[in-house]
Amino acid sequence: MLGSINQFVDRFQNEGLDCMIALSHVKDPQRFGVAEFHPDGKLKSTIEKPENAPSPFAVTGIYLFDEQFFDAYKTIEPSKRGEYEITDIITWYINNGTVGHEEITGWWKDTGTPDALIEGNALIMDDTPREEFCVECEPHEDAQIQGPVSIGEGTVITKDCMIRGPVVIGKDCNITSSYIGPYTAIGDGVIINKTEVEHSIIFEGASIDTTRRIVNSLIGVNAKLVDYKRSHPKTGHRLIIGDNSLVEL
């Protein structure tokens, strides 16, 4: 989410509300908890992932509750999905208390899918002031660093590397003979060798040692990518790789 929730909290306190929820206008409301309204615009209920959404307003996961929350929890039963739904808690408050709602006016991303997580990463980089990017190590003097780039302490960038921002690289990484392109976030202790990576998120401790081009990808904690003898697409691989994985390309 872009911006502060201070106004959201202030309204909850100043109006003496029992519950406050933040909503966001979305194109695919069936993927979310959704708000249902009375004709006068007052909140009627919230429904978890309905097939036919009563409105385009998703419940964002930003809530404020008073101490009655625990009383509400005791009254609800698991849904057909076998889960205790937060939307049932909100509906209890609608029936038993005073509930406010407010639409988020800036961007909001639900990072429950790989694509949304990658897109959210890019949005955050675009919104980060350029003066907050900083290089805390000493890349080789012949390495090419272009645009807004942050690099943590102890990271090694060899002379035949190009880093083209916006890029964030963590501490104690080793980047050798590689191209790191825009909108890439790299966690601490990552090793990248002879690889092109862009628009991707690489988590802590991952190792990439392949001549393949990696794009629009998530690489999990301690995952390893190594070369394998077979052809590869010129447009680059797209990968969703879990923690502690080994992938041969």
pLDDT of residue 114: 85
More confident residue, 83 or 235: 83
Q: What values do phi and psi take at 167, rounded to 5?
A: -140, 140
The lowest-confidence range among 9-13, 38-42, 78-82, 226-230 is 226-230
Q: What is the Cα–Cα distance from 58 to 158, expressed in whole angstroms?
A: 46
Q: Do residues 230 and 213 make contact, with C-beta atoms less than 8 angstroms apart? A: no
Question: Is there a cis peptide before residue 139, judged by omega within 30 degrees of 0?
Answer: no
Closest CA to 17 of 103, 101, 89, 73: 101
Q: Do residues 6 and 102 make contact, with C-beta atoms less than 8 angstroms apart? A: no
| Percentage of the chain modeled with pLDDT above 70 | 93
pLDDT of residue 48: 85
Segment 90-94 shows an average pLDDT of 92
Tokens coding 12: 């909850």
Ordered by where they begin, the domains of the chain are 6-108 (3.90.550.10), 132-248 (2.160.10.10)
Residue ranges with strand state E in 93-183: 99-103, 144-146, 149-151, 156-157, 162-164, 167-169, 174-176, 179-180
Question: Is residue 94 pLDDT above 70, yes or no?
Answer: yes
Mean pLDDT score across all residues of the chain: 89
Provide the H-helix boundaries in 97-159: 114-127
Residue 159 CB partners (closer than 8 Å, separation 6+): 140, 141, 142, 143
pLDDT of residue 229: 64
pLDDT of residue 111: 65
105-114, 199-208, 231-240: which is most confident: 199-208
- Residue 54: burial class (beta carbons within 10 Å; 0-12, 13-18, 19+): middle
pLDDT of residue 211: 87
- Band (158; pLDDT cuts 50, 70, 90): very high
